[in-house]
Amino acid sequence: MVSSFQRYIINKTATYIVLWFLAAFLNFLLPRIMPGDPIGRYLETLYNMGQGTTGGIVQVVPEAEKLRQQVIEQFGLDKPPYTQFFLWLINFLRGDWGYSLAFPNLPPVIDLVKQYLPPTLMLLIPSLVISWVVGNYLGAYMALKGGKVDKIGLSSMQFISLIPAYWLIIVLVFIFGVYYKILPVSGKPGYMIPSLSFDYIKALLYHWILPMTTITLIGIGGWSIGMRAYVIYQLNANYMKYSKALGLPQRVLGRYAFRNAIIPQFIAFAMSFGGLFAGNLLVEMVYGYPGMGSLLSMILGRLDIFGMQAIFTFTATMILVANYVADIMYGFLDPRIRRGITEVVE
Amino acid sequence: MKPLTKLIGVSKSIRQTLLGDLFTNKRFVIGFTIFLFIILLGYVGSLFAYPDPWKISYYTPGGTDRCTDDLRYLPPSPEHLLGTDNNCRDIYTWLVVGLKNTIWIAALAGVIGTLIATVLGMIAGYKGGLLDDVINFSANFMIVIPMFIVLLMIVGYVPERLRTSMLVAVVIGLLSWPGPTRVVRSMVMQNKAADYVDMAKLTNFTSTEILFKEILPNIASYIFLIYINSFSSAIFTEVGIGAIGFGPFDAVTLGRAFNAMLAGGAITLGLWWWFMSLGLVVVFLSYSLLLINLGLQHVFNPRLRFTVYAV
């Protein structure tokens, strides 16, 4: 006999597998229906490397057409679309993500991701944790205090959460990098080759402070607004009125409200990963921090279809996993679902 | 069939109190003032701007076509209210022209997104069944995938000459329906169970009539709120993709101005008036829209006025 909670998990798992297939299919389809000539762009890059001139090789050199056919054959782009899709899907799951056309030496995309992902995670995870904790405390404090603290706090948090991250980092760079000259003006750790050496990590940390501060600050705004609303909702709930009538001290009431309000914030924590990842890309691109944002801007600028396909699918996978975890957590944290008392209301 | 409100006859005074409430609502008044000010900056401000944002410095009489070093990076002056950039172009002109274009792009994107959301949400919420399942599933799917990344992917593939403001607006609009659709859907579902819908059914209204003459007027105010939200986030999106060079290529927008500012090295050169003016316009524009939204919410939903602060 399958319990309600098990059925819930099975349901969710099936849904997310379907979602993943859809996302992968979309990522496969989009590059192929878009205008633009990725192979031509790659050949141009190659040609410019050798000649030091720009533009138009594809039209000018008669051998270009032959070369193009060769490249298309090598990458299997002449095979029927469904064969291409399944070949790509199987290879993706195996860890063979193809070769990036953005760089003339065709590095494997997975190597690029291995190199650029750690700095991004180094940025995202601490900032998510810090902004979540601080934001929740601030939000609960505002809601429990009420009055002027709440009013001023809420409007300032609303203002903070509306500042575009890519602009805030510009302002911070100006203040700390240009005016006071204590922090670097660009996220690129010199001309060092990315590696796991101590020196590189030290340099990276130095360039990590500003983007980290930026996304943490803006995150605090968003989390505190959400938490404030949840706590106020709890304070207005009937059980709270009852407890108040029983004469429980204010401190205990506040704790009750906080504990109940934090549950949706746990779920939001896991869910926010995707949005944060996307928002963070812009910060990285603007600051030149050597993370996924920088990699993506290189790949997008050079129409690297294999790179885009792999990186977008990888991103979608990460986001879906985070959401899946959030959904399962939701079932777990809410005892009504865990014990199978109620069905989950979508 | 006449709408029920007409049959029963709702007094006009409701509308009057609504407007009265609106203009005594502090948030709305502040937000609306800021919003008006920014719109005026775009339209009246462009009277003080040069006609062509691309034209190289007008500083010398008649304007030259050559960008020499003494015309580059000029500080703010009466001739150039926000100075000139690395290509000797007038920054103030870029700001006001960009502001106007961005507002139009965001307005159009908001209309497209809200329209799709309203239609899909009403169908899903009212009809239910398989159609509802399909719409709801696709909305949830689209919400999980960050739209900004999909947008980047689409505009990244489109060659520059095809990347017009119209295209960017349409793409932003087409990608912004999932969240609003769910809101409209749940509102329609709530309204579907209301007594007035039962009454309309008894009066032999068809479902189209019920949807458009009964439910739609009831949720119209919320749809307007949704529109303001979409408008605001479309501004963010346009400036975001523009800043990294994937915005519209046929016009000067705020995003493009951001991109020019980054490329021009405003930060390292310490030209604070350049990046502060651009950023503050975006921040205050979205803050004013938020205030307008909150103000309208309080007026549309009187219950909020009593519960939220009743702690």
A317 touches chain B (CB under 8 A): no
How far is the C-alpha of B295 from the C-alpha of B28, rounded, in Å?
4
Q: How far is CA A86 from CA A21, A81, A151, A316, in A?
A: 11, 9, 56, 18
Q: How far is CA A50 from CA A9, A43, A44, A102, A313, in A?
A: 56, 11, 10, 16, 33
Q: Is the dihedral of CA B278, B284, B289, B293 positive or negative?
A: positive
Residue B238 Cα to chain centre, angstroms: 10
Bigger pLDDT: A193 vs B124 = B124
Supply the mean pLDDT for chain B: 84
What are B244-256's pLDDT values in tens digits?
888 898 889 999 9
CA distance A207 to chain B (A): 15
Supply the DSSP symbol for B206. -
Highest mean pLDDT of the ranges A51-55, A86-90, B59-63, B276-280: B276-280
Q: How far is CA B150 from CA A261, B137, B272, in A?
A: 32, 18, 33
Point out the residue among B141, B156, B310 whose CB comes nearest to the CB of A300. Answer: B156
Lowest pLDDT segment from A82-91, B11-20, B196-205: B11-20
CB contact under 8 A, B270 and A296: no
Q: Which of A155, A167, A294, A315 to mutate to test the interface with B (most CBs of B within 10 A)?
A: A167
What are B260-273's pLDDT values in tens digits?
998 888 888 888 99
The residues, any chain, with a CB within 8 Å of residue A214's CB and separated by 6 or more, are A165, A168, A169, A172, A283
Q: What is the pLDDT of residue A132?
A: 95
Res. B14 pLDDT band, cuts 50 70 90: low
pLDDT of B308 strictly over 60: no
CB contact under 8 A, B153 and A308: yes
Alpha helices, DSSP H, located in A207-249: 209-235, 238-246
Q: Which of A33, A34, A236 to mutate to test the interface with B (most CBs of B within 10 A)?
A: A34
CA atoms within a 13 Å half-sphere pointing along the CA-CB vector of B151: 31
8 A C-beta contact, residue A124 and residue A280 = yes
Q: What is the pLDDT of residue A311?
A: 87
CB contact under 8 A, B152 and A146: no
CA distance B63 to chain A (A): 32
Q: What is the mean pLDDT of residues B70-99?
A: 85
Query: Exposure string (b/e) for A305-342, b if CB count within 10 Å is 16 or more?
Result: bbbbbbbbbbbbeebbebbbebbbbbbeebeebeeeee
pLDDT tens across the length of chain A (346 residues): 567 778 888 888 998 899 899 888 888 887 777 766 777 777 777 776 665 444 444 455 666 777 778 778 777 777 888 888 888 889 888 988 888 888 878 889 999 998 888 889 989 999 999 999 999 999 999 999 888 999 999 999 999 998 999 899 999 999 998 888 888 887 776 666 666 677 777 887 888 999 999 999 999 999 999 999 999 999 888 999 899 899 889 889 889 899 888 888 888 887 787 778 877 888 998 888 888 888 888 888 777 888 888 888 888 888 888 888 888 887 777 666 666 555 444 3
Q: What is the pLDDT of residue B53?
A: 82
Smallest Cα–Cα separation from B252: which of B34, B31, B54?
A: B54
Res. B3 pLDDT band, cuts 50 70 90: low
CA distance A259 to chain B (A): 18
* Orientation of helix B147-157 relative to helix A305-333, angle to 10°: 170
Which tokens is B308 given? 């939220």
The residues, any chain, with a CB within 8 Å of residue B122's CB and separated by 6 or more, are B184, B185, B188, B211, B215, B216
A81 touches chain B (CB under 8 A): no
How far is the C-alpha of A62 from the C-alpha of A58, rounded, in Å?
8
pLDDT of B34 strictly over 90: yes
Bigger pLDDT: A267 vs B195 = B195
Res. B197 pLDDT band, cuts 50 70 90: confident
How far is the C-alpha of B98 from the C-alpha of B38, rounded, in Å?
12
Q: What is the pTM of this model?
A: 0.84
CA distance B125 to chain A (A): 13
Q: What is the pLDDT of residue A229?
A: 92
Residue with tokens 């979205």: B286
- Number of helices followed by number of strands (H, E) in chain A: 15, 0
Query: Exposure string (b/e) for A18-31, b if CB count within 10 Å is 16 or more?
Result: ebbebbbebbbebb
Supply the DSSP symbol for B74. P
Q: How far is CA B200 from CA A29, B9, B187, B209, B219, in A?
A: 46, 15, 18, 9, 16
The interface predicted TM-score (ipTM) is: 0.83
Point out the residue among B159, B258, B311 whose CB comes nearest to the CB of A232. Answer: B311
8 A C-beta contact, residue A260 and residue A182 = no
pLDDT of B310 strictly over 60: no
Residue A247 Cα to chain centre, angstroms: 46
CA atoms within a 13 Å half-sphere pointing along the CA-CB vector of B72: 10
CA-nearest residue to A323 within chain B is B144
3 state SS of A108: strand
3 state SS of B176: coil
Measured at the CA of A32, the angle between CA A13 and CA A23, to 5 degrees, comes to 10
3 state SS of A156: helix
Q: Is the dihedral of CA B219, B220, B225, B231 positive or negative?
A: positive
The residues, any chain, with a CB within 8 Å of residue A215's CB and separated by 6 or more, are A123, A124, A127, A131, A165, A276, A279, A280, A283
Q: What is the pLDDT of residue B73?
A: 83
Which tokens is B202 given? 């008894």
pLDDT of B68 strictly over 70: yes
Which tokens is B101 given? 């274009």
CB contact under 8 A, B244 and A285: yes
Res. B306 pLDDT band, cuts 50 70 90: very low
Q: What is the pLDDT of residue A171?
A: 93
Q: How far is CA B206 from CA A279, B121, B214, in A?
A: 45, 18, 11
Q: In percent, how much of chain B has pLDDT > 90?
A: 38
- One-letter amino acid for residue A28 of the chain: F
The residues, any chain, with a CB within 8 Å of residue A279's CB and separated by 6 or more, are A165, A215, B148
Q: What is the pLDDT of residue A335?
A: 67
